[in-house]
């Protein structure tokens, strides 16, 4: 029977039968893994502390026919302050849903894991506004997963936009405000294009997020356009994932 020891982040915990749980774990070495926790629903389970979403731990796993089975664990961080705030809980759940969607079974993705851990750490222990963490994670997760737009220059005139600009989310191309007035045969805009507006400040923030090391991905300042950035990042990621997240809807409902 195969036996492994891995560090990983619990992205999802689902019920299995009357007493057990299935954990979806994004690991450092083995990619995304599904692991069964015998008696994981019991309050008396010795694995209770590592059987909840956004828990980072060391896991001892044995492989059976269908699943890995958890036989040992050691908690590293449960980001507990998140669990005391409903807005942070809902946002952390959305972040884990994105990571779950972008990660693949058995395919190592340390960049995405590191980014997700940094986002949860920021929510738990740093004084970043949730909307900033949300926007930055959405865009940076798209970048590290290969959905990076070309934002160096206008795709039509090849110049730096002087003021507001637009991105065709479907093609990942930047179009300046002057070129947006040109016919579609010049811009490449079609009925399937998803055109998202950007201010000069939000474009600068995207360029920072594209280039910044993961440990510094929240080290930018945006005074007046955070809502615009958040809307852009949300719609850009959604365009490429083609998926609606219940957790995002719940997070947004908390502000209504």
> Residue 137 falls within a domain, yes or no?
yes
220: CATH = 1.20.1440
Please say which residue of 58, 78, 98 terminates a domain. Answer: 78
Please say which residue of 49, 78, 107 terminates a domain. Answer: 78
Domain identity same for 129 and 211: yes
Domain identity same for 33 and 128: no
Domain identity same for 208 and 247: yes
Question: Into how many domains does the chain fold?
Answer: 2
Report pLDDT digits (tens) over 129-157.
Answer: 999 999 999 999 999 999 999 999 999 99
- Greater pLDDT, 64 or 199: 199
> Residue 198 falls within a domain, yes or no?
no
Query: Average pLDDT of the chain?
Result: 91
Structural domain range at position 54:
3-78
Domain identity same for 14 and 114: no
Name the residue with tokens 């995304």. Answer: 32
* Residue 43 in this model has a pLDDT that exceeds 80: no
Domain identity same for 127 and 227: yes
Domain identity same for 18 and 141: no
As a whole-number percent, the residues of the chain with pLDDT over 70 amount to 97
Report pLDDT digits (tens) over 212-234.
Answer: 999 999 999 998 899 999 999 99
Domain identity same for 64 and 121: no
Domain identity same for 240 and 121: yes
* Residue 41 in this model has a pLDDT that exceeds 90: no
CA-nearest of 35, 39, 45 to 70 is: 35
Give the start-end residues of each E strand in the chain: 3-16, 20-27, 32-37, 56-63, 68-77, 165-168, 173-176, 195-198
Report pLDDT digits (tens) over 156-209.
Answer: 999 999 889 999 998 899 999 999 999 988 888 888 889 999 999 999 999 999
**Does the global pTM surpass 0.85?**
yes
């Amino acid at each position: 029977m195969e036996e492994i020891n891995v560090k990983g982040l619990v992205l999802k915990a689902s019920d299995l039968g009357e007493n057990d749980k299935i954990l979806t774990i994004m690991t450092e070495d083995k990619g995304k893994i599904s692991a069964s926790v015998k008696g994981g629903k019991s309050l008396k389970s010795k694995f209770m502390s590592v059987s909840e979403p956004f828990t980072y731990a060391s896991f001892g796993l044995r492989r059976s026919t269908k699943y890995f089975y958890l036989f040992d664990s050691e908690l590293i961080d449960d980001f507990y302050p998140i669990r005391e705030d409903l807005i942070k809980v809902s946002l952390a759940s959305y972040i884990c849903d994105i990571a779950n969607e972008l990660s693949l079974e058995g395919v190592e993705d340390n960049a995405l894991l590191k980014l997700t851990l940094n986002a949860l750490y920021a929510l738990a222990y740093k004084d970043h506004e949730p909307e900033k963490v949300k926007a930055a994670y959405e865009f940076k997760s798209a970048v590290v997963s290969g959905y990076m737009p070309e934002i160096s220059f206008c795709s039509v005139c090849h110049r730096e936009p002087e003021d507001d600009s637009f991105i065709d989310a479907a093609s990942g191309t930047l179009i300046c405000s002057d070129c947006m007035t040109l016919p579609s045969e010049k811009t490449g805009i079609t009925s399937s294009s998803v055109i998202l507006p950007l201010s000069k400040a939000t474009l600068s923030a995207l360029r920072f997020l594209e280039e910044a090391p993961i440990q510094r991905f929240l080290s930018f300042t945006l005074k007046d356009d955070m809502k615009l950035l958040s809307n852009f990042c949300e719609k850009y990621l959604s365009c490429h994932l083609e998926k609606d997240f219940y957790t995002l809807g719940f997070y947004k409902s908390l502000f209504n």
